[in-house]
A = this chain, B = another copy of it.
Amino acid sequence: MLESVRIVLVNTSHPGNIGGVARAMKNMGVEQLVLVEPKEFPSEKATARSSGATDILESARVVDTLDQALEGCNYVVGASARGRHIPWPVVDPRTLVEDIVPQTEQLQVALVFGREDRGLTNEELHRCNRHVHIPSNPDFSSLNLAAAVQVLCYELRMQVLRQQRNPTEEQPRWGTEWDIELASADELQLLFEHMEQALVDIDFLDPNNPRQLMTRLRRLYLRSHPDKVEVNVLRGILTATQKLLDKQN
């Protein structure tokens, strides 16, 4: 879904940054890199910093002008600091990807990043449909070039994944794939009944004055979404405790 997105770097000074950008892109599944008059490319420094994203570097297009870089694009986004003389529609990365990703089939997107020291010129910024600003500390606002590309490509990937996710899929609240099936409500209910009985057995819980003990325990365990094995382990502990008592009596 990110095939129609290209990253355009204008007049990059440090080849290491080009390598860092390539790595960030490949990490996030973005593949098209276009370099407008880079100071030094190809470069060993770029290859080193790419940490193996050499395919991105090898297929990068090097061009002379921003015009050439934008050929065929219908949605041009310029990375920008705040406070230009003529304001342009400025979005944060989240808002940008929420706009772009649902329509990637119709769009050819260019994300344009400027020079390390001065960013994009006003003329370059005025070629853009949108400017994107990464909300940063006003007293220290300039991100490293590869870090800025990382943030944008990360947001793109997150949005693609969110769009692909089936909202009806039931997931534990931590959102991960687990190796064991989660315990069912029935199994948990049996666990709590077993627990309550065991607590009575050991004289910890007074059935005539239970207060909120079981409520607190339920809340504790339910919060963690126990899986089937964990429930078996807990019940094993309870059973072992009860057996110990039987022996004593």
Contacts and interface: CB of A to CB of B under 8 A. Distances in A.
A174 B53 contact: no
Size bracket of the A interface: 35 or more
A90 B141 contact: no
Interface stretch (A57-65, A91-99, A195-203, A208-216): A91-99
A144 B151 CA distance: 12
Interface string A106-139: 0000000000000000000000001001111100
Contacts of A141: 27
A233 interface: no
Contacts of A178: 87
- Identical chains bound together, number: 2
A2 B53 CA distance: 33
A134 B154 contact: yes
A175 B51 CA distance: 36
Interface stretch (A18-26, A66-74, A237-245): A18-26
Given A20-B147, A23-B144, A91-B175, 15 more contacts: A20-B144, A24-B147, A27-B140, A27-B142, A28-B137, A29-B136, A87-B177, A91-B176, A134-B154, A135-B157, A135-B161, A146-B147, A147-B150, A150-B151, A151-B151
